[in-house]
Amino acid sequence: MLAQSAVLSKSGSLQSMSFYVNQAAGTLRMAIYDASGPGAGPGTKKAETNAVSTVVGWNTLNVITPVTLPAGTYWLAYLPSSNDLHFLLDTSSGHLTYYSFANGEMPAKFSGSPASGIGHWSFKATLK
């Protein structure tokens, strides 16, 4: 499971999440976590999508239950079922974190000791 930080400048109701894929393989599930983890890292899951078979291009999924998020820092997380899923990664900026997690429903709490690095993907959340 991998996550990147994102800043929400004003509150809104989370409707969907989108992740850009340039080689489709397996399924993809997405979630958003608050920044209550160690070092302001990913903490508690706020919303999640169902899994979907990936396609090349933007994979956009509605969250299972829309949730209102106050302004602040969040972590956009994704869980691929296949290591053959390819996506664009920019390692010049951004904060990312990751750890090994079995495919399935994403956990209520992110790992307390994930690996971290610099980078970001083409990944976004849509709020209303």
Q: Render pLDDT for 26-44 as a digit per residue (tens, 0 to 9).
A: 999 999 999 999 999 999 9
Q: Which residue has the tokens 């079995």?
A: 102
pTM of the model: 0.92
CA distances from 1 to 5, 12, 29, 32, 128 (A): 14, 25, 10, 12, 26
Residue 104: what pLDDT? 82
Look up the domain containing 119 and give its range.
2-127
Number of domains in the chain: 1
CA distances from 67 to 9, 49, 62, 90 (A): 16, 12, 11, 29
Residue 88: what pLDDT? 87
Residue 124: what pLDDT? 87
Residue 103: what pLDDT? 83
What is the C-alpha to C-alpha distance for residues 8 and 69, in angstroms, rounded to an integer?
8
Give the residues of the chain that fall short of pLDDT 50. none
